């Protein structure tokens, strides 16, 4: 495999509408956005630094816990002033409907997440959720291959727990990648589920040295029938989609994106697809990989 993420800048058949500035599916921009099941203050039950600069937060949110599905996210307001002004979208990593709690994992990178890291148990966190379109679980996929990179790993944990409700552990493969070992999350959580992940890092500090698509290529070559689910940075998703296509396997990708409203009104998180521009916050985050037009316009961060 290549030593860098593949890029696809060539013209794509059927995507001339991008250059012409015409959306062939304008109705995609006016579809009613699903309302979050909960909008209000959620109590922080616990917060733990589980990896360098990565924190796991559990909040009391029974309405969200009952309704959320893998691939959906929370929209969090982490400050009480105008800085930061916007909410932060963070994927759901675990949920327990019986006990009424939801977990998410984030990395401290800016003002908003620094404020979030200061919240102690008992603090109230302004929360909206669950938001977005979840993964579609393939009913007869043979093997389910979960691919996560960086902060795209936590939603794979939620997906794994959900799949295990109806599938056997031997039918699920987890592949994790990161820049260094510090960016590999949830390894012990997957192992506790009976799904020890295969890991790889850019610098070789954990697992093999290389890219997670190297592991994916090896897995699909020997897997037989399989469905791929992935979450991570856009270059990784582009490469996962390409490898899945090369092996003739269906693939779903969940995008990470900056967004203002989180409910489809502002159109700040649109991506080009074969049916027009679609919103990551409503039509996504999870999309069939074959519907995405993988161009340089996918600049979501």
Domain boundary among 131, 160, 190: 131
Is there a single domain that holds both residue 237 and residue 210?
Answer: yes
Question: Are residues 145 and 102 part of one domain?
Answer: no
Cα(230)–Cα(175) distance, rounded to whole angstroms? 9
Residue 301 CA to residue 145 CA, distance in Å, equals: 26
**Confidence check: pLDDT of 57 > 60:** yes
What pLDDT score does 286 carry?
95
Predicted confidence (pLDDT) per residue in 139-161, tens digit: 777 899 999 999 999 999 999 99
Count of domains observed in the chain? 2
State the chain's mean pLDDT as an integer.
86
Residues 225 and 110 in one domain: no
d(CA 273, CA 17): 10
DSSP, collapsed to helix, strand or coil, labels residue 171 as: helix
Cis omega (within 30 of 0) for bond into 260: no
Instruction: Output the pLDDT for position 32.
Output: 44
Task: Give the CATH number for residue 43.
Answer: 2.40.30.10
pLDDT tens-digit series, residues 192-250: 999 999 999 999 999 999 999 999 999 999 888 999 999 999 999 999 999 999 999 99
- Bridge partners (DSSP) of residue 90 are 74
- Tell me whether residue 146 is in a domain: yes
**Could you give the CA distance from residue 245 to residue 239 in angstroms, rounded to a whole number?**
10
Q: Are residues 123 and 253 in the same domain?
A: no
Please check whether residues 59 and 195 belong to one and the same domain. Answer: no
Quickly state the pLDDT bin for 30 (edges 50, 70, 90). Answer: very low
User: Average pLDDT in the 28-41 region?
Assistant: 61
The label of the residue with tokens 């109705």 reads: 27
**Residue 299 falls within a domain, yes or no?**
no
123 phi-psi bin (left φ>0, alpha ψ -120 to 50, beta other) = beta
Give the mean model confidence (pLDDT) for residues 118-133.
94
Note whether residue 206 is domain-resident. Answer: yes
Query: What number is the average pLDDT over the span 18-47?
Result: 63
Last residue of a domain, one of 113, 131, 149: 131
**Range in 9-13, 151-155, 268-272 with the lowest mean pLDDT:** 9-13
- Residue 170 has a CB neighbour count (10 Å cut-off) of 9
DSSP secondary structure, 145-168, as one string: EEEEEGGGSHHHHHHHHHHTTTS-
CATH number at 248 reads 3.40.50.80
- Residue 182, classed as helix, strand or coil, is helix
- Please indicate, yes or no, whether residues 23 and 165 belong to a single structural domain of this protein: yes
**171 and 256 housed in the same domain:** yes
Are 108 and 156 members of one domain? no
**Is residue 73 domain-shared with residue 172, that is, in the same domain?**
no
Q: Strand pairing partners for 176? A: 148, 199
Could you give the percent of the chain with pLDDT greater than 90? 69
- Calpha distance 80→111 (Å, rounded): 12
Is residue 230 in some structural domain? yes
Residue 301 in domain: no
Q: Among candidates 196, 158, 150, which has minimal Cα distance to 177?
A: 150
Single out the residue in 131, 153, 177 at which a domain terminates. Answer: 131
Q: Clarify whether residues 189 and 259 are in a common domain.
A: yes
Residue 234 included in any domain = yes
Q: Who wins on pLDDT, 29 or 261?
A: 261
Give the whole-angstrom CA distance, residue 8 versus residue 280: 21
User: The domain containing residue 52 runs over which residues?
Assistant: 38-131
Whether residue 239 sits in one domain with residue 110: no
* Side-chain half-sphere CA neighbours of 208 within 13 A: 16
CB contact at 8 A, 282 and 263: yes
The first and second tokens of residue 114, run together, are: 């620094």
2 occurs within a structural domain: no
Which region among 12-21, 135-144, 292-301 has the lowest average model confidence (pLDDT)? 12-21
pLDDT at 296 over 80: no
Asked if the structure places residue 5 within a domain, the reply is no
Identify the pLDDT of residue 35. Answer: 58
71 and 220 co-located in one domain = no
φ and ψ at residue 52, rounded to 5 degrees: -55, 120
138 or 46: which leads in pLDDT: 46
């Amino acid at each position: 495999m290549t030593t860098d993420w593949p890029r696809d800048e060539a013209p794509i058949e059927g995507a001339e509408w991008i250059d012409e500035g015409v959306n062939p599916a304008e109705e995609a921009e006016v579809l009613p956005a699903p309302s979050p099941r909960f909008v209000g203050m959620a109590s922080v039950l616990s917060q733990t630094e589980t990896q360098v600069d990565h924190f796991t937060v559990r909040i009391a949110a029974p309405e969200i816990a009952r309704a959320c599905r893998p691939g959906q996210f929370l929209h969090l307001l982490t400050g009480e002033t105008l800085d930061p002004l916007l909410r932060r979208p963070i994927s759901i990593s675990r949920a327990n409907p019986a006990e009424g709690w939801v977990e998410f994992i984030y990395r401290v990178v800016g003002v908003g997440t620094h404020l979030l890291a200061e919240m102690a148990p008992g603090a109230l966190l302004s929360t909206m959720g669950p938001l977005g379109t979840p993964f579609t679980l393939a009913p007869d996929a043979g093997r389910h291959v979960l691919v996560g990179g960086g902060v795209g790993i936590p939603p794979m944990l939620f997906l794994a727990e959900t799949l295990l409700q109806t599938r056997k552990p031997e039918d699920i493969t987890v592949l994790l990648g990161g820049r260094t070992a510090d960016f590999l999350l949830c390894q012990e959580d997957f192992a506790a589920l009976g799904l020890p992940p295969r890991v790889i890092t850019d610098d070789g500090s954990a697992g093999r040295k290389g890219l997670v698509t190297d592991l994916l290529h090896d897995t699909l070559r020997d897997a037989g029938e399989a469905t791929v689910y992935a979450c991570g940075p856009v270059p990784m998703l582009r490469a996962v989609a390409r490898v899945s296509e090369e092996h003739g396997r269906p693939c779903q990708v969940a995008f990470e994106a900056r967004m203002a409203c989180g409910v489809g009104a502002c159109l700040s998180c649109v991506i080009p697809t074969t049916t027009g521009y679609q919103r990551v916050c409503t039509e996504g985050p999870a999309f069939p990989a074959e519907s995405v037009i993988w161009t340089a316009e996918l600049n979501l961060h």
